[in-house]
Amino acid sequence: MLPGSIQISGETLSSAEVRDICAGLRENSVRLLSLRGCRLSERDFGHVCRGVAESHSLAQLNLNLGIVSNINRVKQLAEALKTNRSVQSLFLHGSPLTDAGLALLNPALGIHPSLVALDLGDCMLGDEGINLICGLLPPDGAKSGLKELTLSANPGVTSKGWGRLAIAVAHSSQLRVLNLDYNPLGDQVAGMLAVAVASSRTLEVLDLEGTGLTNQSAQTLLDMVENYPTALRTLILAENNISPELQQQISDLLSEGEEEEESEAREVTAREKNPWICQNNSSSQMVLMTSGLGDSLLAETEM
């Protein structure tokens, strides 16, 4: 039997239901486990964590909306992730981790061999938590790091913390998606992020929805998109005090860049299909560029 999914939302789980979930994890018949906003006893949460530790099939774990509700649960999840080798995507959106909780969880995240997507939105993080997260964005490619990072709605982070993150993003060797929506960033932090995007070779999606930006930020971002070659494909600026005209200009420039790369990709594909097409100058060979996130990451379940 191919691994499947268990998705439960907002229910109180009985011990019998938890036993069934754990059996599926141990039998490697579960690829996606989502217990979004569910209620379960401390004992049963421990059973789920042990099942996660023993699973070799689990690729996506969604414990959004308060399931990881205390330090004891953070510790149990950390122990599970130290043993697990298969989880690629971990969603803890809406968990009251705080910096102290993330400090307990971070060592397990840092050594996990497969983790590439992490959602810590609305987790009551501050600058110390951001410093820990920066360690999950290795700069030199010597070890695996995050490709998708969500830090939405963490208003306790100051401009100092966001500046530290911008530096890490600029030098990250793998990060492709960064969601910072609904944080009070303002124009100063947006300027830091523009520099980070211009420096990054991998960042394709940046979500700045509802982050207190103005036309000043938009003009900086427009200059960045217009004058510097970047990997950026999607920039979300909704619910900010930015004129529709500036938003449209940025969107048009990003679309133009994607169309140019798609045209180049089509040319490369045509040459690959027709071996009789000769290159007069070997130094002018095209490099195939692809846009989008591809199929390597699982789609996030609804928060």
pLDDT value at position 260? 54
| Nearest in space to 198 (alpha carbons), one of 170, 172, 222 | 170
Which residues are within 8 A (CB) of 27 and not within 5 positions of it... i.e. 6 or more apart?
Answer: none
pLDDT value at position 2? 52
Domain membership of residue 271 (yes or no) is no
Q: pLDDT tens-digit profile of 184-208?
A: 999 999 999 999 999 999 999 999 9
Residues in the chain, pLDDT under 70:
1-3, 141-142, 257-303
Instruction: Verify that 205 and 86 share a domain, yes or no.
Output: no
Instruction: Verify that 67 and 152 share a domain, yes or no.
Output: no
pTM equals 0.85
Torsion sign across C-alpha atoms 201, 203, 204, 207? negative
Dump strand ranges (E) for 4-147: 4-9, 30-36, 60-62, 89-91, 117-119
Domains held by the chain: number = 2
Instruction: Verify that 172 and 48 share a domain, yes or no.
Output: no
Instruction: Verify that 43 and 166 share a domain, yes or no.
Output: no
Amino acid at 16: A
Instruction: Verify that 133 and 111 share a domain, yes or no.
Output: no
Looking at 117, 134, 159, the residue that finishes a domain is 117
Instruction: Verify that 98 and 24 share a domain, yes or no.
Output: yes
pLDDT value at position 140? 72
pLDDT value at position 144? 78
Instruction: Verify that 175 and 149 share a domain, yes or no.
Output: yes
Q: In angstroms, rounded to a whole number, what is the distance separating the alpha carbons of residues 15 and 56? A: 23
Instruction: Verify that 10 and 110 share a domain, yes or no.
Output: yes
User: Residue 194: which domain range?
Assistant: 125-262
Numbers of helices and strands, H then E, in the chain: 9, 9
Instruction: Verify that 43 and 154 share a domain, yes or no.
Output: no
Instruction: Verify that 166 and 234 share a domain, yes or no.
Output: yes
Q: pLDDT tens-digit profile of 28-71?
A: 999 999 999 999 999 999 999 999 999 999 999 999 999 999 99
Looking at the DSSP assignment, which residues form a beta bridge with residue 90?
Answer: 61, 118
